[in-house]
Structure 1
Amino acid sequence: MKKDYRIKSNKDFQLIFKNGRSFANRQFIVYLYENNSVNHFRLGLSVSKKIGNAVTRNQIKRYVRQAFLELQNDIDAKYDYIVIARKPVRDMNYHQAKSSLIHVLKIAKAIPRNFSSNP
Protein backbone atom coordinates (compact mmCIF):
# COMPACT_ATOMS: atom_id res chain seq x y z
CA MET A 1 0.00 0.00 0.00
CA LYS A 2 1.42 3.39 -0.99
CA LYS A 3 2.53 5.80 1.72
CA ASP A 4 -0.07 8.44 0.88
CA TYR A 5 -2.76 5.83 1.58
CA ARG A 6 -1.61 5.46 5.21
CA ILE A 7 -2.41 7.45 8.32
CA LYS A 8 0.62 7.61 10.58
CA SER A 9 0.54 10.81 12.64
CA ASN A 10 -0.93 10.91 16.12
CA LYS A 11 -2.66 14.19 15.22
CA ASP A 12 -4.60 12.51 12.41
CA PHE A 13 -5.50 9.53 14.62
CA GLN A 14 -6.82 11.82 17.38
CA LEU A 15 -8.83 13.91 14.88
CA ILE A 16 -10.50 10.80 13.50
CA PHE A 17 -11.18 9.33 16.95
CA LYS A 18 -12.72 12.61 18.11
CA ASN A 19 -14.75 13.55 15.03
CA GLY A 20 -15.25 10.25 13.21
CA ARG A 21 -18.02 7.67 13.45
CA SER A 22 -17.29 4.16 14.68
CA PHE A 23 -18.70 0.79 13.68
CA ALA A 24 -17.79 -2.58 15.12
CA ASN A 25 -18.25 -6.32 15.17
CA ARG A 26 -16.49 -8.90 17.35
CA GLN A 27 -13.23 -8.74 15.41
CA PHE A 28 -12.79 -5.12 14.28
CA ILE A 29 -13.66 -1.54 15.15
CA VAL A 30 -13.65 0.82 12.17
CA TYR A 31 -13.62 4.61 12.46
CA LEU A 32 -14.70 6.66 9.44
CA TYR A 33 -13.96 10.32 8.96
CA GLU A 34 -14.86 12.25 5.83
CA ASN A 35 -11.75 13.77 4.28
CA ASN A 36 -12.08 16.01 1.24
CA SER A 37 -8.41 17.01 1.09
CA VAL A 38 -7.39 13.88 -0.84
CA ASN A 39 -9.19 11.99 -3.59
CA HIS A 40 -8.50 8.49 -2.21
CA PHE A 41 -9.04 6.71 1.07
CA ARG A 42 -6.39 6.60 3.79
CA LEU A 43 -5.94 3.78 6.27
CA GLY A 44 -4.67 3.74 9.84
CA LEU A 45 -4.14 0.52 11.79
CA SER A 46 -4.03 -0.23 15.47
CA VAL A 47 -3.24 -3.68 16.83
CA SER A 48 -2.70 -3.84 20.59
CA LYS A 49 0.06 -5.79 22.29
CA LYS A 50 -2.70 -7.67 24.12
CA ILE A 51 -3.48 -9.47 20.86
CA GLY A 52 -0.12 -11.19 20.60
CA ASN A 53 3.56 -10.90 19.86
CA ALA A 54 5.04 -8.77 17.07
CA VAL A 55 4.73 -11.54 14.50
CA THR A 56 1.00 -11.94 15.15
CA ARG A 57 0.35 -8.19 15.19
CA ASN A 58 2.23 -7.64 11.93
CA GLN A 59 0.39 -10.53 10.30
CA ILE A 60 -2.97 -8.98 11.23
CA LYS A 61 -1.83 -5.63 9.82
CA ARG A 62 -0.79 -7.31 6.58
CA TYR A 63 -4.21 -9.00 6.37
CA VAL A 64 -6.05 -5.69 6.81
CA ARG A 65 -3.83 -3.82 4.32
CA GLN A 66 -4.25 -6.57 1.73
CA ALA A 67 -8.02 -6.63 2.21
CA PHE A 68 -8.21 -2.86 1.68
CA LEU A 69 -5.97 -3.18 -1.38
CA GLU A 70 -8.31 -5.77 -2.89
CA LEU A 71 -11.38 -3.71 -2.00
CA GLN A 72 -10.02 -0.31 -3.04
CA ASN A 73 -12.30 -0.04 -6.09
CA ASP A 74 -15.39 -0.76 -3.98
CA ILE A 75 -14.56 1.25 -0.84
CA ASP A 76 -15.91 4.78 -0.52
CA ALA A 77 -12.82 6.87 -1.31
CA LYS A 78 -13.89 10.06 0.46
CA TYR A 79 -13.17 8.65 3.93
CA ASP A 80 -10.21 8.09 6.19
CA TYR A 81 -10.40 4.72 7.93
CA ILE A 82 -8.89 3.57 11.18
CA VAL A 83 -9.12 -0.16 11.82
CA ILE A 84 -8.63 -1.47 15.35
CA ALA A 85 -8.21 -5.22 15.69
CA ARG A 86 -9.77 -7.12 18.60
CA LYS A 87 -8.55 -10.35 20.19
CA PRO A 88 -10.61 -12.85 18.12
CA VAL A 89 -8.70 -11.77 14.98
CA ARG A 90 -5.54 -13.54 16.11
CA ASP A 91 -7.17 -16.94 15.52
CA MET A 92 -8.43 -16.10 12.02
CA ASN A 93 -6.90 -16.74 8.63
CA TYR A 94 -6.79 -14.11 5.89
CA HIS A 95 -10.13 -15.00 4.28
CA GLN A 96 -11.98 -14.97 7.60
CA ALA A 97 -10.43 -11.61 8.54
CA LYS A 98 -11.32 -10.15 5.14
CA SER A 99 -14.94 -11.28 5.34
CA SER A 100 -15.21 -9.86 8.87
CA LEU A 101 -13.78 -6.56 7.64
CA ILE A 102 -16.27 -6.53 4.74
CA HIS A 103 -19.06 -7.11 7.27
CA VAL A 104 -18.04 -4.05 9.31
CA LEU A 105 -17.63 -1.91 6.18
CA LYS A 106 -21.14 -2.90 5.09
CA ILE A 107 -22.48 -1.84 8.49
CA ALA A 108 -20.66 1.47 8.06
CA LYS A 109 -22.10 1.80 4.52
CA ALA A 110 -18.56 2.24 3.18
CA ILE A 111 -19.19 -0.51 0.62
CA PRO A 112 -22.53 -1.48 -0.95
CA ARG A 113 -24.75 -3.86 1.03
CA ASN A 114 -25.11 -6.19 -1.96
CA PHE A 115 -21.32 -6.40 -2.38
CA SER A 116 -20.01 -9.91 -2.84
CA SER A 117 -16.33 -10.67 -2.30
CA ASN A 118 -16.42 -13.73 -4.55
CA PRO A 119 -14.45 -13.23 -7.81
Structure 2
Amino acid sequence: MKKSYRIKKDVEFQKVFKQGASFANRQLVIYYLHKNDQPHFRIGLSVSKKVGNAVERNQIKRYIRQAFTELQCEIKNEYDMIIIARKPVKACNYHEVRRSVEHLLFKTKLLNK
Protein backbone atom coordinates (compact mmCIF):
# COMPACT_ATOMS: atom_id res chain seq x y z
CA MET A 1 0.00 0.00 0.00
CA LYS A 2 1.37 3.40 -0.99
CA LYS A 3 2.20 5.94 1.69
CA SER A 4 -0.35 8.36 0.23
CA TYR A 5 -3.03 5.92 1.42
CA ARG A 6 -1.95 6.25 5.08
CA ILE A 7 -2.92 8.68 7.81
CA LYS A 8 0.12 9.54 9.92
CA LYS A 9 -0.46 12.91 11.61
CA ASP A 10 -2.01 13.09 15.06
CA VAL A 11 -4.19 16.04 13.97
CA GLU A 12 -5.76 13.91 11.22
CA PHE A 13 -6.31 11.00 13.65
CA GLN A 14 -8.04 13.32 16.12
CA LYS A 15 -10.27 14.80 13.41
CA VAL A 16 -11.51 11.34 12.41
CA PHE A 17 -12.06 10.36 16.05
CA LYS A 18 -14.00 13.53 16.92
CA GLN A 19 -16.02 14.12 13.74
CA GLY A 20 -16.37 10.62 12.33
CA ALA A 21 -18.63 7.67 13.04
CA SER A 22 -17.56 4.28 14.34
CA PHE A 23 -18.43 0.61 14.22
CA ALA A 24 -16.85 -2.39 15.91
CA ASN A 25 -16.74 -6.16 15.81
CA ARG A 26 -14.90 -8.61 18.04
CA GLN A 27 -11.45 -8.06 16.51
CA LEU A 28 -11.43 -4.51 15.13
CA VAL A 29 -12.92 -1.03 15.54
CA ILE A 30 -13.29 1.37 12.61
CA TYR A 31 -13.70 5.14 12.75
CA TYR A 32 -14.52 6.74 9.41
CA LEU A 33 -15.01 10.27 8.13
CA HIS A 34 -16.35 11.36 4.75
CA LYS A 35 -14.10 13.82 2.86
CA ASN A 36 -15.12 15.06 -0.59
CA ASP A 37 -11.79 16.54 -1.65
CA GLN A 38 -9.55 13.46 -1.88
CA PRO A 39 -8.90 11.08 -4.80
CA HIS A 40 -8.62 7.87 -2.72
CA PHE A 41 -9.33 6.51 0.75
CA ARG A 42 -6.73 6.74 3.51
CA ILE A 43 -6.27 4.49 6.53
CA GLY A 44 -4.57 4.87 9.88
CA LEU A 45 -3.71 1.88 12.05
CA SER A 46 -3.51 1.63 15.81
CA VAL A 47 -2.45 -1.52 17.62
CA SER A 48 -1.99 -1.16 21.37
CA LYS A 49 0.86 -2.66 23.36
CA LYS A 50 -1.82 -4.64 25.20
CA VAL A 51 -2.28 -6.73 22.04
CA GLY A 52 1.24 -8.14 22.09
CA ASN A 53 4.91 -7.46 21.57
CA ALA A 54 6.30 -5.49 18.62
CA VAL A 55 6.54 -8.52 16.34
CA GLU A 56 2.88 -9.44 16.88
CA ARG A 57 1.69 -5.84 16.51
CA ASN A 58 3.59 -5.37 13.26
CA GLN A 59 2.23 -8.66 11.89
CA ILE A 60 -1.34 -7.52 12.64
CA LYS A 61 -0.67 -4.21 10.88
CA ARG A 62 0.71 -6.05 7.84
CA TYR A 63 -2.40 -8.25 7.74
CA ILE A 64 -4.72 -5.23 7.87
CA ARG A 65 -2.74 -3.33 5.21
CA GLN A 66 -2.77 -6.38 2.92
CA ALA A 67 -6.54 -6.77 3.37
CA PHE A 68 -7.04 -3.12 2.35
CA THR A 69 -4.70 -3.56 -0.63
CA GLU A 70 -6.73 -6.53 -1.88
CA LEU A 71 -10.05 -4.71 -1.33
CA GLN A 72 -8.78 -1.42 -2.77
CA CYS A 73 -11.00 -1.53 -5.88
CA GLU A 74 -14.16 -2.12 -3.84
CA ILE A 75 -13.69 0.60 -1.17
CA LYS A 76 -15.29 4.01 -1.61
CA ASN A 77 -12.67 6.66 -2.27
CA GLU A 78 -13.76 9.69 -0.30
CA TYR A 79 -13.18 8.37 3.25
CA ASP A 80 -10.54 8.54 5.95
CA MET A 81 -10.55 5.45 8.17
CA ILE A 82 -8.85 4.57 11.44
CA ILE A 83 -8.60 0.88 12.32
CA ILE A 84 -7.98 -0.08 15.94
CA ALA A 85 -7.06 -3.67 16.74
CA ARG A 86 -8.52 -5.33 19.82
CA LYS A 87 -6.94 -8.15 21.86
CA PRO A 88 -8.80 -11.05 20.14
CA VAL A 89 -7.13 -10.19 16.81
CA LYS A 90 -3.91 -11.62 18.25
CA ALA A 91 -5.25 -15.16 17.78
CA CYS A 92 -6.38 -14.58 14.17
CA ASN A 93 -4.63 -15.57 10.99
CA TYR A 94 -4.63 -13.43 7.84
CA HIS A 95 -7.88 -14.83 6.42
CA GLU A 96 -9.77 -14.12 9.65
CA VAL A 97 -8.40 -10.56 9.79
CA ARG A 98 -9.43 -9.99 6.16
CA ARG A 99 -12.93 -11.33 6.85
CA SER A 100 -13.16 -9.02 9.86
CA VAL A 101 -12.08 -6.00 7.77
CA GLU A 102 -14.62 -6.90 5.07
CA HIS A 103 -17.34 -7.21 7.72
CA LEU A 104 -16.56 -3.73 9.08
CA LEU A 105 -16.52 -2.15 5.63
CA PHE A 106 -19.76 -3.88 4.63
CA LYS A 107 -21.60 -2.86 7.80
CA THR A 108 -20.46 0.77 7.50
CA LYS A 109 -21.41 0.83 3.79
CA LEU A 110 -17.88 1.73 2.71
CA LEU A 111 -17.80 -0.98 0.03
CA ASN A 112 -19.01 -0.27 -3.50
CA LYS A 113 -20.91 -3.58 -3.64
Question: TM-score surpassing 0.5?
Answer: yes
Q: Unpaired segments of 5 or more residues in structure 1?
A: none
CA distance in 1, matches of 2:21, 2:43: 15
CA distance in 1, matches of 2:17, 2:35: 13
Tell me which amino acid in the other structure corresponds to 2:38: V
Q: Percent identity among equivalent residues?
A: 58
CA-CA distance at 1:37 after TM superposition: 2.4
RMSD over equivalenced CA pairs, Å: 0.9
Q: Unpaired segments of 5 or more residues in structure 2?
A: none
CA-CA distance at 1:67 after TM superposition: 0.3
- Aligned partner of 1:35 in structure 2 is 35
- Aligned partner of 2:44 in structure 1 is 44
CA-CA distance at 1:43 after TM superposition: 0.6
Give matches, 1:11-30, under 5 Å: 11-30=11-30
- Aligned partner of 2:68 in structure 1 is 68
CA distance in 2, matches of 1:87, 1:7: 22
The number of equivalent residue pairs is 113
Q: TM-score, length-normalised on structure 1?
A: 0.92
- Aligned partner of 1:86 in structure 2 is 86
- SS of equivalent residue, structure 1 residue 52: coil
CA distance in 1, matches of 2:42, 2:36: 11
CA-CA distance at 1:111 after TM superposition: 1.3
Tell me which amino acid in the other structure corresponds to 2:71: L
Tell me which amino acid in the other structure corresponds to 1:64: I
